[in-house]
Chains A and B, each alone.
Chain A
Amino acid sequence: MSESVLRVENFSVDYGVGERAVRAVTDVTFSLGRSEVLGIAGESGSGKSTLVYGLTRLLRAPGVIRSGKAILRVGEDSARRDIDLLEASERDLRSLRWRHVSVVLQSALSALDPVRRIGKEFDEVLRYHGQGKSRAERRSRAEELVTMVGLKTDRLDRFPHELSGGQRQRVMIALALALNPDLVIMDEPTTALDVVTQREIIDELRELRERLGFAMIFITHDLSLLVELADQIMVMYAGRVVERADSADLYSIPRHPYTVGLMNSFPPLTGEIVPMTGIPGSPPSLSALPRGCAFAPRCPLASDRCLNETPPLLVEESRSLACFNSSSSVRERLVISS
């Protein structure tokens, strides 16, 4: 891998403090290369959103960052410096945000100010970060940006409620790219959109990344979408990373039983219709996690050891995996058992 934009080490987040604290993200470590797309897959409660809120310091109380480092590398060549996002002051964060890291959230309607025209949002971001001396200059940059995401420039004069869901999400993406950031984080940006619009936005994102070279963290529960978009995929369950691999590898040979289960949860669009089962049981509550592997109660391969010990994440070059049944025959055995 080339040099990394973001290195995250042993990152943990709690909700609440003291005895009743609930660990939502446990010991997450990963690194993200320049222009790379990391996909994070997991169900609700898996900690995927908490992870990025924590990393970008957008986490609100009762969320508390318990440990870890998140080193962001900014600037080119001689001006290059490393910043620990978790140590940065509010003031530093303000200049980092938009310029180096930007975030696109699931609901663009709640991210945009309802009583402001779209153009004003662009103007503010550009002005704060010293882009464009005059209003006219900033306006022309804003026009450039919305055109880039396939919107007409007159959308800048509209209010958020006058745009469709897909258009609003495009506005968010254009804003996120306004200052050419090194890293763009997308938290379920297409989940609320219909599938045709989702397809358009995904195709656009791929093209924009090709052209502008930003790295991206893309969060979704839809594993098949990630396989198309991401270079690497990280699967989370109950706050932990359970598997990480190149997306093509993960798709062709999923090793963790949870990953296999997730893949069996989406009926395919082609081929014979075969009965599929999804995963038995329900995702655990973080406040009452089982002893041992959190997935064990739902896992067809769980042994006594799984019920008592938490499997560590074994990091190898091409794959990280947190499972005691790590032999490559897992998939075959699961297919037979289901």
Chain B
Amino acid sequence: MSTAPLLEARGLSKIFSVKPQGRAFARRRPFRAVDDVSVSLGAGRVTAVVGESGSGKSVLARMLARTVEPSEGELFVEGAKIDPRERRDLAYTAAVQLVLQDPFASINPVHPIRHVLERPLKIHGNEPSLVPGLAKELLERVALTPGESYLDRFPHELSGGQLQRVSIARALSVRPKVLLADEPISMLDVSVRLGVLNLLRDLCDNEQLAVLYITHDIASARYIADDVLVMYAGQVVESANGTTVVDRPRHPYTQLLVSSVPDPGQGDRPRMQAPSATAFPEVGCRFAPRCPLANEQCRAEVPTLVEVEPSHHVRCWRVEEASVLLTSRDSQKGGGETT
């Protein structure tokens, strides 16, 4: 891309200070929930971040929305550097909007939808006489038609899917350039999930928004995204364009993830086995304790993200050997202890 991305993060980290579990008098220790993540969101592109719970994907979204202050790293809006430690101003809020997982929790239940949509419209300086019309338009942009019929309803009168559309409409009210969606469909009924996902895709295509789609569901990431990043224990372990990450995963963790998804159409696929999640080590590769290929180097040094083919990056010392994990059926029998 020749133009600067709408939102870019370089080397973003978040260090929390935590007490070791079960030891009330122990000293607090730094914990890197997100470690050196760079991501660039371009106009008209959906970038998916895939990871399990605890992988740091939500903290990443909140740092991009600047509701959590990054410990390290830089943010750029359309190429202009932002100091993330400064107070967030209205212009940033207007440029970058966050949609959360549970619309019933993120929309105030005591106000009608009208209030939910008109408030940001007013705060962001729209002509008061135009506001009701704009609110109705917003609802129609997220396919809640006719808009008037929703304005005076309360959140509890809508279904989860409808309310999630309202929360997307609310995000759109400030004419953002970037939409961050943190697990926007995982709380919704299965039959309406694709509708909301398609809406995000359409907004991205038609209005040239940059969309960050955060999910634990790698199949939905493959369906909607132009770029996919896989996070494990706070780090990006693999990233690539389009369906590459799912179709040709190189990192052992991505392979484990892909081979774990239920997919009856595939019959008996070769399935990778690995020990269950443990606390990740402080030195070396964070996936090493679960990785069937881990060697001395993996346990001693943190691997760097390297480009294995154009725009396909993998953080693994043994990426050459790792490509064969899934293809050799018999290599990984037995698994390990499950703790």
Contacts and interface: CB of A to CB of B under 8 A. Distances in A.
Given A151-B338, A152-B337, A277-B194, A43 B264 contact: no
Given A151-B339, A196-B276, 13 more contacts: A152-B339, A170-B338, A195-B257, A196-B257, A196-B274, A199-B261, A200-B338, A222-B262, A268-B219, A268-B263, A273-B223, A273-B243, A276-B194
A298 B276 CA distance: 41
9 contacts: A167-B339, A222-B262, A265-B194, A268-B219, A270-B247, A270-B263, A270-B265, A278-B191, A278-B193
Nearest to A164: B277
A222 B263 CA distance: 11
Contact of B191 (A151, A166, A261): A261
B200 to A, nearest CB: 13
A60 to B, nearest CB: 22
Contacts of B266: 269-270
Interface string B260-272: 1111111000010
Given A167-B339, A228-B264, A275 B198 contact: yes
A195 B260 contact: yes
Interface stretch (A111-119, A125-133, A279-287): A279-287
A44 interface: yes
Nearest to A277: B194
A197 B260 CA distance: 8
A170 B301 CA distance: 33
Name the residue among B216, B247, B265 with the largest chain A CB count within 10 angstroms.
Answer: B265
Given A151-B339, A199-B260, A282 B161 contact: yes
A224 interface: yes
B22 interface: yes
A265 B266 CA distance: 17
A141 B43 CA distance: 60
A312 interface: no
A225 interface: yes
A273 B266 CA distance: 16
B263 A280 contact: no
A278 B192 contact: yes
Contacts of B161: 282
A162 B260 contact: no
A267 interface: yes
Contacts of A280: 195
B54 to A, nearest CB: 8
A251 B264 contact: yes
Given A224-B262, A267-B219, A269-B222, A196 B194 contact: no
A141 to B, nearest CB: 20
B53 A224 contact: no
A167 B162 CA distance: 35
Interface in A222-251: 222, 224-225, 227-228, 251
B87 to A, nearest CB: 36
A224 to B, nearest CB: 4
A332 interface: no
B256 interface: yes
A195 B259 CA distance: 10
A16 interface: no
A265 B264 CA distance: 14
A269 B258 contact: yes
B241 interface: no
Contacts of A44: 189
Name the residue among A195, A224, A227, A266 with the largest chain B CB count within 10 angstroms.
Answer: A195
A197 B277 contact: yes
B246 interface: yes
A275 B190 CA distance: 16
Interface in B144-200: 159-162, 189-195, 198
Contact of B218 (A166, A264, A269): A269
B276 A198 contact: no
B162 A195 contact: no
